[in-house]
Amino acid sequence: MCGADGSTREHVPPRSFFPKGVGHQELLTVPSCPKHNTAKSNDDQYVLAQICINAGLGENLAKQVFLRSIAPQLIRSPAFAARIAQGAKTLPNGWRKYPVDSDRLDRFFDHFVHALVFAKYGCQLDKHQHQIAHLYLSLTSEDPNEQAQRDFVVRGLGHLSLAFADFQERFEAANVVGPVYEYRLFAPAEPDASMTFRHYFYGVFEVVSMLTRRVHPDA
């Protein structure tokens, strides 16, 4: 993330995203400095809570992780519970609508793609060479422009998948009792070029991360 000594190991995704019983040796890890490994733990739990709230239905894995990892924390920490519930509204059908701190999600996924690039290519992602943007396809937006952008990206990814199937790669994290995380990477060149990650959490929650190579004036 920062180029400092990677004296700790960071799990990708965080261990809290996995059901109990998944061993360390089954998870993807990358080197990290202590500052960036520990400072983001609150963001990890916030993002996990939002994913599970959105994706948890019936007795699926997202619901199980919510009950095991998030629900106890909501009880132990009134401040955390207040952050999650702030601005929530009850819809006519009885469902609850929760606002999402998109800046916090962006911070988490910025960190996340840095880790994935290092795990894939063995080198640090140069944030000065790439513009990073994330689209949260499973979240509902009341902004018609944002929704139009999402639809455009999804159509574009569909066309790329058909036209450049050989440039796609799939990775799945430890799958013990169900799918926790997988990505589909579209990367037609080396890591200093543009690439796109299509993330899936619990087989339901979908995020697209676009790492676009910056065009410099002197290029």
CA angle 57, 58, 64 (to 5 degrees): 80
Our count of domains for the chain comes to: 2
How large is the greatest C-alpha to C-alpha distance in the chain, in angstroms?
56
**Which two structure tokens, joined as six digits, stand for 131?**
């513009």
pTM exceeding the 0.85 threshold for the entire prediction: yes
Within this chain, do residues 75 and 14 fall inside the same structural domain, yes or no?
yes
Question: What pairing do the DSSP bridges indicate for beta strands 181-186 and 195-201?
Answer: antiparallel
Mean pLDDT score of the chain, rounded to an integer?
Answer: 87
Q: Which tens digit of pLDDT belongs to each residue from 50-84?
A: 999 999 988 899 999 999 999 999 999 999 999 99
Of 54, 77, 97, which closes a domain?
97
In a domain, 154, yes or no: yes
In a domain, 3, yes or no: no
Q: Which tens digit of pLDDT belongs to each residue from 124-163?
A: 888 888 999 999 999 988 888 888 888 888 888 887 777 7
Within this chain, do residues 137 and 177 fall inside the same structural domain, yes or no?
yes
Which residue range forms the structural domain that includes residue 144?
128-213
